[in-house]
Structure 1
Amino acid sequence: MTSRVVLVSAAMSTSLRQARFDDGGSLDDGGLAEARSAAGTLPAAARVLLSPSVRCRQTAAALGLHGVPAAELAGLDVGRWRGRALDEVGAAEPEAVGRWLTDPDCAPHGGESVRELCERVAGRLAKARELEGRTLAVVEPDVVRAAVVAALGLPAAVFWRLDVQPLTLTELSGRAGRWNLRLGRPPTG
């Protein structure tokens, strides 16, 4: 049996455009319009899952998808940095940000570490491997990064070196104990 997982990264939001840690805000007008224009272009799926964030739920709705929120697909918990701009946090806590960006076990913000996120998402991928049919998941960019790290057995230290564009598809197909990867295609067919 071949398992297929298509990860759709959330459309553009104001916080993403401003390099701000997600604050639970909505998609911006451009992101909403782009997602609406991509409605009907995604492959059929046996199930649709969502990161529980506002922007993922709005992206799914704009794409015409009805999904189930999955807590294990939530974005990285950045604790007290939530809603703050990366530049602002970097100026106030340069050593903490430096450690966070280089040590996957570090969580100076009081949230979760990159390694913890990667392990959480890896657990969800293991469940997907057991399911028949395609799983479509609208998720945060950091969840896509964590899925790629897990699927390819990469060290968690490469997490920040993976760039995920808004409203792109990352496709995983797995069988015989391994995943294959197709990165970053737009949702246009």
Structure 2
Amino acid sequence: MTIRLTVLGMHPSATSADAIFGHAPLSEYDLHETGTALAALPPQSSTTRSPSTRCALTAAFLGLKATAEPALRDIDYGTWRGRTPAEIVAADPHGYSAWLTDPDAAPHGGETVRQLCQRTANWLSSLPPETGRALAIVEPAVVQALLVHALSAPARAFWKLEVPLHCTVCLTRRDGVWNSTWTATPYCPRTRASGAGRPRTGQTGAVRADTPQQDGRYRPDYRIDLALRS
């Protein structure tokens, strides 16, 4: 049987300078745009969410009865929780650099990227064949970790994956083989300065997932179809 898991990554539309580790409330705009993205999807048979207040409020706003799943909780930021990247860089530049490059580093005393990838991979692999169409509402780090598993990528690839605002990632498993589709609605901002040659609003286009952007990240503009091997 086929499993179709749609993943909503709930992160606020704040600038990187305003970002706060593990403590980023969503605005009404974020909730509205997420609802718009979800409305374009087919009905789901079940909904699972991160245990966080942010994801619980999102599910309630969308009118969904979602089951909290501990394995889908956000990464544990340890002593960095509630702090901005600028504050962390000022206090521990070497630790911050290590965390962004080494999946086994935990300078904050919390969870490593590898540990996050392992527990989310275990959850994804445990989904029964009869799961059908399902929805997961999670934090962005969990989306990245799920993609690491679906791509059969090493944990160090975690930071090379970036999910745009108000977009969905659809993971499909058939006969043990994963396919992944990144879908950006017309409400998802462009990720390149120039729109020349890109689809118009309301259309979709394709970008190879193995071609990084200029900053080295794999970032879809509108829609990316990935043929993945398990």
Give the TM-score of the pair, scaled to structure 1.
Answer: 0.89
What corresponds to 1:31 in structure 2?
30
Cα distance change of structure 1 residues 164 and 28 upon mapping to structure 2, 3 Å threshold: same
Whether contact under 8 Å (2:103, 2:113) holds in the other structure is yes
What corresponds to 2:21 in structure 1?
21
Rounded Cα–Cα distance in structure 1 between residues aligned with 2:103 and 2:179: 24
What corresponds to 1:6 in structure 2?
6
4+ long deviations beyond 4 Å: 13-17, 36-39
Whether contact under 8 Å (1:145, 1:162) holds in the other structure is yes
Whether contact under 8 Å (1:121, 1:143) holds in the other structure is yes
Q: State the Cα deviation string for residues 125-166 of structure 1 (Å, max 9, x = none).
A: 112253331110011111110000001100110101111123
Larger Cα-atom Rg: 2
Query: Per the alignment, in what secondary structure is the counterpart of residue 47 of structure 2?
Result: strand
Query: Per the alignment, in what secondary structure is the counterpart of residue 128 of structure 1?
Result: coil
AA at the equivalent of 1:10 = M
1:45 is displaced (CA, Å) by 1.3
Whether contact under 8 Å (1:125, 1:147) holds in the other structure is yes
AA at the equivalent of 2:62 = L
Q: State the Cα deviation string for residues 45-101 of structure 1 (Å, max 9, x = none).
A: 121000111221222222222201111001111101001001110111000011111
RMSD: 2.3
Rounded Cα–Cα distance in structure 2 between residues aligned with 1:65 and 1:166: 20
Question: More helix per residue: 1 or 2?
Answer: 1
State the percentage of identical aligned residues.
42
What corresponds to 1:144 in structure 2?
143
Rounded Cα–Cα distance in structure 2 between residues aligned with 1:137 and 1:16: 25
Rounded Cα–Cα distance in structure 2 between residues aligned with 1:32 and 1:82: 23
Structure 2 counterparts to residues 9-158 of structure 1, below 5 A: 9-12=9-12, 18-23=18-23, 25-38=24-37, 40-158=39-157
What corresponds to 2:207 in structure 1?
none
Whether contact under 8 Å (1:16, 1:22) holds in the other structure is no
Rounded Cα–Cα distance in structure 2 between residues aligned with 1:65 and 1:7: 14
Whether contact under 8 Å (1:102, 1:157) holds in the other structure is yes
Structure 1 stretches of 5 or more lacking a match?
none
AA at the equivalent of 2:22 = D
Rounded Cα–Cα distance in structure 2 between residues aligned with 1:36 and 1:14: 18
Whether contact under 8 Å (1:4, 1:174) holds in the other structure is yes
1:12 is displaced (CA, Å) by 1.9
